[in-house]
Chains A and B, each alone.
Chain A
Amino acid sequence: MFSRAYRAAVTVPPLIWVTVFLLVPYLLMFFYSFWSVSGSQAIIHSWNFENYRELLTIDVYWQTLLRSMWIAARVMLFSLLLGYPLAYFLSFYAGNRKDLFYQLVIIPLWVSYLVRAYAWKTILGSDGVLNTLLEYVHLTKHPLDFLLYSPFAVVLTLTHIYTPFTFLPIYASLEHIPRNLVEASHDLGASPLQTFWRVVFPLSIPGVLAGATFAFVLSLGDFLAPLLLGGPSGIMLSNIVVSLFGAAYNWPLGAAISLCMLVLVVSLLFVSERLEKKWSFS
């Protein structure tokens, strides 16, 4: 139905932009990862695998990767635990206040990440709101210092940020379940609990997978929360990358790590997508 000129007109501009500003930069990153940096902070275009060898052999990179994945896994788990019942409540029990509750959930989603991370920083510090509150009501005598500058703070903050993220696709998939399936299940003798496990939950799996993937992937690559709240024990992969592009000036190494993250993320997305397809039945 649409003429060639029309189709070319809409395709070419974004195609060019995406090539120049996405494809080429990723390729550059790929190239950089094989170069190295000289003592005088100049980038030498000599092709080698040094950076990758360093990543594979030096402990601190593995430790940081594992720590990042562990943090991401916990964020994923907690935000699912918080988000799923919330989505279920909204979809099946909220009736005509559904709309209001929905807005209440998505508002925090859009309100500045920085503001929210900063809020936790002021709350969790040793002079922060939480500690002084606990001392005020005599629950503790000294400030709890694991609250801030720890993986705990990072997991807490990221869970706070990403729970609405996991909520959304789960809610969307629950809403897509025709209510007559629930009625049919009851009609055939299944109690509400049986109906949930046999009908509702299986049909919501694509949403759960999508939400879990987002929470995991975005937490994995997060650099703001660990920088503000992580302290030395909460350093994640992105922080290393940032310093390699800053004070520790080693762009090629930083590029190598970035590339690894890119590959990791894309693979996770790929796996998740395949699983989602397998579990979607409409």
Chain B
Amino acid sequence: MSAENSAVQRSRWLLLHAGVVFAFLYLPVAVLIVYSFNGAGVGGFPPRDLTLNWYRTLFADGAIWESVGNSLLVAAMAVVIALGLGTSAALALDRAQFPGKALFRRLVLLPLILPGIITGLSLLMLFNSDGIKLSLLTIVLGHGTALISVATTEVFAGLQKLDRAQEEASLDLGANYWQTFWRITLPNLKLPIIGAALLIFTLSMDEIAVSFFLIGRDNTLPLEIWGRLRRGITPEINAISTIIFVFSLVAIVLWYRLRVSAEGASEIGAELVDTAAQGD
């Protein structure tokens, strides 16, 4: 049947296009990973001298691991701040009416779409005029602020899925607001909250734009890598990049599975774009 034939043709072209796009998206990182095992360095073709040398150098590199520790610390604290405030903000947006609510909503979501350096710069000016010295703490404050929007969008979406009648039933049965929050609301938000935590953590670990301006003496991992890039490329960077890739991969697949079990996959699209804007 000719209709079926042209449908098959169409799907072949679209599949080809999809293949090209996936190749475009994955090849660069694949190359990176391959060359982390390349004895001869980051460039040159074909890769030869399979070696684990660069990984060995990496593991001996104290400065990198110190920065990893810093990043982990910052990310953990950023999760606490962003998640706490973001959940609160989501509840406020869902349930409260107050003057300036529209402005509040826009402000909370703005760092998502605004280039990161603007957020970083404005905070720098704040800290500078208050005489606050730059340090890991200022970075924490910066990440926390920038990433509130991630938690807000995820939790807000989760609140829409929550059946209001459940909370009403809880109140009807004699629980007060606080009890209802702990026993009904929060458990229903478990998945969005865990998902948001994963996302915030991952984004914080990779964050550069805001951190760039708020860094004190201690480096985070991305900034440590950044500093080395200015001095010259070594495949050691390929090695650490590969490790980062693997961890991000695991975190994201986990996050995705959590989200899908909470709701349909296509729903993730809209919020994801907003949250993904934090990538730099």
Contacts and interface: CB of A to CB of B under 8 A. Distances in A.
Do any CB atoms of chain A lie under 8 A from CB atoms of chain B in the complex? yes
A146 to B, nearest CB: 17
B125 A10 contact: no
B267 interface: yes
A255 interface: yes
Contact of B28 (A13, A123, A211): A123
Contacts of B78: none
Most buried by B among A7, A15, A220: A15
A55 interface: no
A96 interface: no
B248 A110 contact: yes
Given A89-B14, A123-B31, A169-B273, A107 B266 contact: no
A127 B167 CA distance: 63
B115 interface: yes
B121 A164 contact: no
Contacts of A224: 208-209, 280
Given A86-B18, A111-B249, A169-B270, A127 B118 contact: no
Interface in B116-130: 116-119, 121-126, 129
A120 interface: yes
Interface stretch (B58-66, B104-112, B186-194): B104-112
Interface string B19-32: 00110111011011
Interface string A133-146: 10110000000000
A85 B14 contact: yes
Given A115-B245, A118-B229, A262-B114, A7 B95 contact: yes
B21 A163 contact: yes
Given A25-B123, A128-B43, A222-B280, A2 B213 contact: no
A257 B272 CA distance: 29
B121 A175 contact: no
Interface residues of A, number: 100
A154 to B, nearest CB: 13
Contact of B96 (A11, A108, A114): A11
A163 B202 CA distance: 20
A129 B145 contact: no
Nearest to B18: A89
Interface string A21-43: 11111101100100000000000
Given A22-B122, A108-B25, 13 more contacts: A21-B145, A23-B107, A89-B17, A110-B199, A110-B279, A111-B252, A113-B208, A131-B43, A169-B273, A221-B118, A228-B229, A255-B125, A266-B110
Interface of A: 1-3, 5-8, 10-11, 13-15, 17-18, 21-26, 28-29, 32, 82-83, 85-86, 88-90, 93, 98-99, 101-116, 118-123, 125, 127-129, 131-133, 135-136, 160-161, 163-165, 168-169, 171-172, 175-176, 192, 210-211, 214, 217-218, 220-224, 228, 238, 241-242, 245, 251, 254-255, 258, 261-262, 265-266, 269
12 contacts: A6-B95, A25-B119, A103-B253, A104-B22, A110-B202, A110-B251, A111-B248, A114-B241, A118-B229, A129-B44, A165-B277, A254-B121
A-B pairs with lowest CB-CB distance, top 9: A221-B115, A172-B269, A25-B122, A175-B266, A132-B45, A14-B89, A7-B96, A119-B28, A89-B14
Interface of B: 6-7, 10-11, 14-15, 17-18, 21-22, 24-26, 28-29, 31-32, 35, 42-46, 84-86, 88-89, 91-92, 95-96, 98, 104, 107-108, 110-111, 113-119, 121-126, 129, 141, 145, 148, 164, 167-168, 171, 177, 199, 202-203, 205-206, 208-209, 212-213, 222, 225-226, 229, 233, 237-238, 241, 244-245, 248-249, 251-253, 256, 260, 265-270, 272-273, 276-277, 279-280
